[in-house]
């Protein structure tokens, strides 16, 4: 693998780690620091441990989602017609928060990468219907952020 490929693979693993930490916070009642502290590996048992940079990125994402949850939920709720954020499946809601936060806080990440990663996380952890749901809601959030000049394609 080239350095660029390894970096993006690490970012994918970091996003999964952030999602798992957020799940532990929301469902398990842990603090974000506690949740991140127990994540040595993400994915299959043979998956490599998170590198230092990827662990830091996962922490930045998870903490950012927690800190800006109300604003993220407002954006998600506006795009999810007929769905209240608190009524969404926990994993779907967390994937959506993670993606919207990354768009807002890490604008150098290409928006399509964020969408694709969110869809893959939803598919892996919640199923095909969740992937479709996440894709539809993120499309609406993306259009709103684009209209505001917050993201560009």
Measure the CA–CA gap between 133 and 92, rounded to whole angstroms: 8
Domain boundaries of the chain, sorted by first residue: 1-66, 68-153
- pTM for the full predicted model: 0.90
Please provide the CATH number assigned to the domain covering 68-153: 1.10.940.10
Structure token pair of residue 99: 């993606």
**Tens-digit pLDDT string for the chain (153 aa):** 444 555 567 899 999 999 999 999 999 999 999 888 877 655 555 566 788 899 999 999 999 999 999 999 999 999 998 899 999 999 999 999 999 999 999 999 999 999 999 999 999 999 999 999 999 999 999 999 999 999 887
Gyration radius from the chain CA atoms? 15
């Amino acid at each position: 693998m080239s350095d660029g490929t390894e970096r993006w693979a690490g970012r994918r693993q970091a996003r999964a780690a952030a999602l798992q930490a957020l799940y532990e916070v929301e469902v398990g009642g842990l603090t974000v620091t506690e949740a991140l502290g127990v994540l040595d590996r993400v994915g299959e048992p043979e998956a490599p441990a998170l590198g230092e940079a990827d662990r830091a990125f996962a922490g930045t994402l998870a903490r950012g989602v927690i800190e800006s949850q109300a604003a993220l939920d407002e954006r998600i709720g506006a795009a999810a017609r007929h769905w209240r954020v608190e009524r969404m499946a926990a994993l779907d809601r967390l994937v959506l928060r993670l993606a919207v936060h990354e768009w807002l806080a890490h604008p150098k990440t290409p928006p399509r990468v964020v969408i694709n990663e969110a869809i893959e996380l939803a598919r892996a952890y919640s199923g095909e219907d969740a992937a479709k749901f996440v894709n539809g809601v993120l499309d609406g959030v993306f259009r709103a952020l684009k209209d505001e000049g917050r993201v560009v394609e």
